[in-house]
Chain A
């Protein structure tokens, strides 16, 4: 059971480039989340999804887009990368919170925009 798989683990982008961070889970979880973690700032919610075809903005959605065409996959798209998007990105999944007790996290993607 792979859990939550994120790719890539590391990436360096130039300003203005775009990329997609991939996230897939094999636990049939409805809920999926994207967070970014900056030193001293905790985890900030970018986007989340409660099921295929349903996405919603989190705390810091600007500069990002997501889609949820299947239960398993929840890719995060960065358009026109900016230095402010340098961060560690975590994808997470869970069953509906009232049915379960915790998130399953991916191992993270360390992104640098130079």
Chain B
């Protein structure tokens, strides 16, 4: 069955520190993978996506993610976090066969000054 797990519900990092948000998925074939960000009271904004090809994908706002098939993971990274990155981050997986798109439960990022 198709599923997405974000193991970390809440993460706090200091401004300027590096960040990694974890995402694990379950899907029989090669999935389409996404990371979205949601600021308080706002809608979801797409950060980056993976369909095929290069397993390291670059996104907006300095984010990147790496698809690791052997680990069924698609972790989001940023070398240096800014205070404005504080938000909720969602990983999502889409079935390439059915178009079914499901989200993880989200990770709330807090940035300390």
Q: B43 touching A98 by the CB < 8 A rule?
A: no
Compute how far the CA of A56 lies from the CA of B102 in the bound complex, rounded to whole angstroms. Answer: 13
> Contacts A97-B94, A98-B32 given: A43-B100 contact, CB under 8 Å?
no
- List, in ascending order, chain A residues with CB within 8 A of B49's CB: 101-102
Compute how far the CA of A43 lies from the CA of B104 in the bound complex, rounded to whole angstroms. Answer: 7
- List, in ascending order, chain A residues with CB within 8 A of B103's CB: 35, 42-45
Compute how far the CA of A101 lies from the CA of B49 in the bound complex, rounded to whole angstroms. Answer: 7
Residues of B22-75 contacting chain A, CB below 8 A: 32, 34, 43-44, 46, 49, 51
Compute how far the CA of A108 lies from the CA of B49 in the bound complex, rounded to whole angstroms. Answer: 23
Nearest residue, chain B, Cβ from A50? B99
Q: How far is the CB of A108 from chain B (nearest CB, A)?
A: 8
- List, in ascending order, chain B residues with CB within 8 A of A103's CB: 44, 46, 101
- List, in ascending order, chain B residues with CB within 8 A of A41's CB: 105-106
Compute how far the CA of A98 lies from the CA of B44 in the bound complex, rounded to whole angstroms. Answer: 20
Compute how far the CA of A33 lies from the CA of B105 in the bound complex, rounded to whole angstroms. Answer: 17
Q: Is A48 an interface residue (CB 8 A)?
A: yes
Q: Is B98 an interface residue (CB 8 A)?
A: yes
Q: How far is the CB of B49 from chain A (nearest CB, A)?
A: 5
Q: B104 touching A42 by the CB < 8 A rule?
A: yes
Interface residues in chain B, defined as those with a beta carbon under 8 Å from any beta carbon in chain A: 6, 9, 32, 34, 43-44, 46, 49, 51, 90, 94, 96, 98-106
Q: Which 5 A-B pairs have the closest CB atoms?
A: A42-B105, A102-B46, A43-B103, A42-B106, A50-B99
